[in-house]
Amino acid sequence: MVIETLGNRIRLVREKARLSQEELAEKLGVTQATITRYENGHRLPCADFLESLVKLSGCDPGWLLAGEAEITEVPCHGEIPGSDYILVPRVSGEIAAGEGLAPEPSVEIRIAFRRDWIQKKGDPKNMSLIRVRGDSMEPTLFSGDTVLIDHGKNYIEPEGGLYAMAVDGLIMIKRLQPLPDKKIRVISDNQKYVTYVATPERMHINGKAVWFGREID
């Protein structure tokens, strides 16, 4: 089943949450008149409103934007039935480009990628998104960037690359380069940070970074 308009999908999400227009408006910090305009299609909602609605209701953003299938039939991770998009979860917390963090494992939101594009990168079922914090990977990655990690590539390829790795339980993203003696060179793209060599026994490769996105303030 296709629910054709964004306004109707917003209304359905509200009704499934058993909220009146006034109650939803209060929770999302807008006026009831704004909710009415969104549902009637007289006004397009901004991205901040849609993201807040997703967080409040738990609905999938791919369904909310594309409208394919019933709201209860949309998977939390994977293909959206009848759609050209695949959902990838972005976990809460952040991955450090610096000292290292232990990110929270819960799913914050799911972001839709075109199926034909993301499958060229690997198996989407083995992927997740996480935000970067810190400046050690500048100018490649900036604090706040969202990075797509392919956890199926949990090994260092001969040419190296950007990897999410855990050292002593702390997660960070660095440029890794394999060395002939089986050691690993750990590189920060920001030259004010020191490059060092690590042994594989202390390091666990979580996956390779295959894409990143950046918001414009």
CA 87/CA 93 separation, integer angstroms: 19
- CATH value at residue 56: 1.10.260.40
User: What are 107-150's pLDDT values in tens digits?
Assistant: 677 788 888 899 999 998 889 888 898 999 999 999 999 999 99
Predicted model pTM? 0.62
Question: Would you state the pLDDT for residue 140?
Answer: 95
- CATH value at residue 208: 2.10.109.10
Joined tokens for residue 25: 């408006």
Q: Is residue 1 part of a domain?
A: no
Domain end residue (candidates: 19, 50, 73): 73
What one-letter code names the amino acid at 4? E
- Structural domains counted in the chain: 2
CA 3/CA 19 separation, integer angstroms: 20
User: Exposed (0-12), middle (13-18) or buried (19+): which is 84, by Cβ within 10 Å?
Assistant: middle
Q: Are residues 176 and 99 in the same domain?
A: yes
Average pLDDT value for residue range 11-23? 89
Domain end residue (candidates: 26, 51, 73): 73
Joined tokens for residue 7: 């306004």
- The mean of the pLDDT values for the chain is 81
User: What are 54-71's pLDDT values in tens digits?
Assistant: 888 887 776 777 655 443
Nearest to residue 189, comparing CAs of 201, 174, 178? 174
Joined tokens for residue 217: 């303030």
**Cβ pair 101, 164 in contact under 8 A:** no
Q: Are residues 180 and 203 in the same domain?
A: yes
Joined tokens for residue 181: 């003696």
User: How many residues can be counted in the chain?
Assistant: 217
Segment holding 139, helix H or strand E: none
Q: Is residue 13 part of a domain?
A: yes
Q: Are residues 92 and 130 in the same domain?
A: yes
Q: Are residues 23 and 128 in the same domain?
A: no
Q: What are phi and psi of 15, to 5 degrees?
A: -70, -40
Segment holding 212, helix H or strand E: strand 203-213
Q: Are residues 20 and 121 in the same domain?
A: no
Q: Are residues 121 and 108 in the same domain?
A: yes
Q: Are residues 144 and 179 in the same domain?
A: yes
**Cβ pair 71, 8 in contact under 8 A:** no
Q: Is residue 178 part of a domain?
A: yes
Q: Are residues 53 and 151 in the same domain?
A: no
Domain end residue (candidates: 14, 45, 73): 73
Structural domain that includes position 157: 78-213
Q: Is residue 94 part of a domain?
A: yes
